[in-house]
Amino acid sequence: MRKLLVEGGNPLKGTVRISGAKNSVLKLMAASLLGTGKFEIGDVPAIKDVYTMIGVLESLGVKAKLIDSKLTLEVGELTGVTPTDLVQEMRASIQVMGPLLARLGWVRITKPGGCAIGDRPIDLHLKNLRKLGADIQEEHGFITARAKRLVGCEIVLDFPSVGATENIMMAATLAEGTTVIHNAAREPEIVDAQNFLNQMGAKIFGAGSNSITIHGVDSLGNTNYRVIPDRIEAGSFLIAGAITQGKLTVENVIPQHLVHLIDKLKENGFELEVAANSITITGRNKFYPANILTLPYPGFATDLQPQYLTLTCLAQGSSLIRETVYSRRFGHVEELRRMGANIEVDGNAALVRGVKELSGTSVRASDLRAGAALVIAGLAANGQSEITGVEHIERGYEKLVDKLQAVGGRIRWEEWTSHFLKENEK
């Protein structure tokens, strides 16, 4: 088993290069199933979720190689039976559903369950794939979808779900006629998927706005592409720089993707220098509280809420953090309280009363971003913290420990084995 040991109190200073966006590359990989031939995707992070998606693609018939951030995919004949264990391991695997249905005319996939941060149903994906003409049966926890050829139509999403927008957009690329998605999600990752698909020969317009138009084509080819930088990784590092009173530059970023966080950090009183593809933050000992409300893009990203909430734990006053995207995204709160934070939760709102200091202790990450929040808390705390549940963190942050160490973070892995298990293995 592995855990992270963090010694707090050292300001982070220097420059961190941000990796390619996890939430984009997973969808580009799924989108490749719509085409044929050799794809090369650059700046792909070597993280667990990418390996899981590689496993999904391989089991469908794709040849994949990831060397030095370059992912090569060779897409030829495919099967529509998806690997149950891998789909259950990672919810984003559901994104292969639309592409396989459109490409093969059928797909069989397990229903992903809920997770630590909320129920996460896929009703919007299914309802709208049905609207495109798919016959979808749900039996014994499996979904089987069939359609000779999908037919374009007008779709109005009840909620701008990122995954549903992408699944429908990808499926509609090979549909007959035109599809319009109204109330579409506007995340930068959706623009990235549009650009990737258009390079493969798709005809998609409007991603980044709330109305996306897809003119169906008969077939798609392959492409070379470089994934956009990970705005959530960049935001996590900016918060770490601020809370440790350091001076940290994140490079390989698109500052426009982080406007909301930048605005909040300025409201907190931090100094930020924003350049074309880098942002520098200067931390400080005393800073103001600020309220946030998580919303679909361009609102404040829910994936930065745990990290930002951690920052507000040390502000001079009270901050109100409201989570509107997920039903249970306060898993980090109990752990932060163990470190001395003063947080009161009522439903989807957390009132954070700033304290003078956090103190290091043993905490457990319940999900990916909660894990990042605990690392940030550990870096700012007095004394040593031990973080378990690190498998969640490894899902989404490439070389987190190396990157933090390079800018002065005192953090390291520790391997440990239970003596009880060791004895019983003998």
Active site residues: 115
Give burial (CB, 10 Å; 0-12/13-18/19+) of 237: buried
Pairing verdict, β 318-322 and 292-293: parallel
Sequence-ordered list of residues with C-beta below 8 angstroms from that of 331, at least 6 positions apart, any chain: 116, 117, 306, 366, 367, 370
What would the DSSP string read from start to end of 298-331? Answer: TSB-GGGHHHHHHHHTTSSSEEEEE--S-SS--H
Residues 123 and 206: their CA atoms lie apart, in Å, by 24
CA distances from 250 to 17, 42, 204, 229, 242 (A): 6, 19, 32, 11, 12
Q: How far is the CB of 408 from ligand UD1 (least distance, A)?
A: 28
Query: Structure tokens of 350?
Result: 């957390």
Task: Considering only the C-alpha atoms of the chain, give the largest distance between any 2 of them, rounded to a whole number of Å.
Answer: 65
Residues 96 and 112: their CA atoms lie apart, in Å, by 12
Q: What type of residue sits at position 334?
A: E
Counting Cα atoms < 13 Å in the Cβ hemisphere of 300 gives 20
Pairing verdict, β 247-251 and 13-17: parallel
Residues 136 and 106: their CA atoms lie apart, in Å, by 10
Q: What type of residue sits at position 110?
A: T
- Total residue count of the chain as it appears in this document: 426
**Rounded to an integer, what is the distance from CA 174 to the centroid of its chain?**
27
Residues 297 and 186: their CA atoms lie apart, in Å, by 6
Q: What phi-psi label fits residue 340: left (phi over 0), alpha (psi between -120 and 50 degrees) or beta?
A: left
In the complex, the residues that contact ligand UD1 under the rule CB under 6 A are: 23, 26, 91-92, 118-125, 159, 161-164, 185, 302-303, 325-326
Pairing verdict, β 154-156 and 178-182: parallel
Neighbours of 105 (CB within 10 A): 16
Q: Where are the alpha helices (DSSP H) in 175-287?
A: 188-199, 231-243, 259-267
Residue with tokens 């084995």: 417
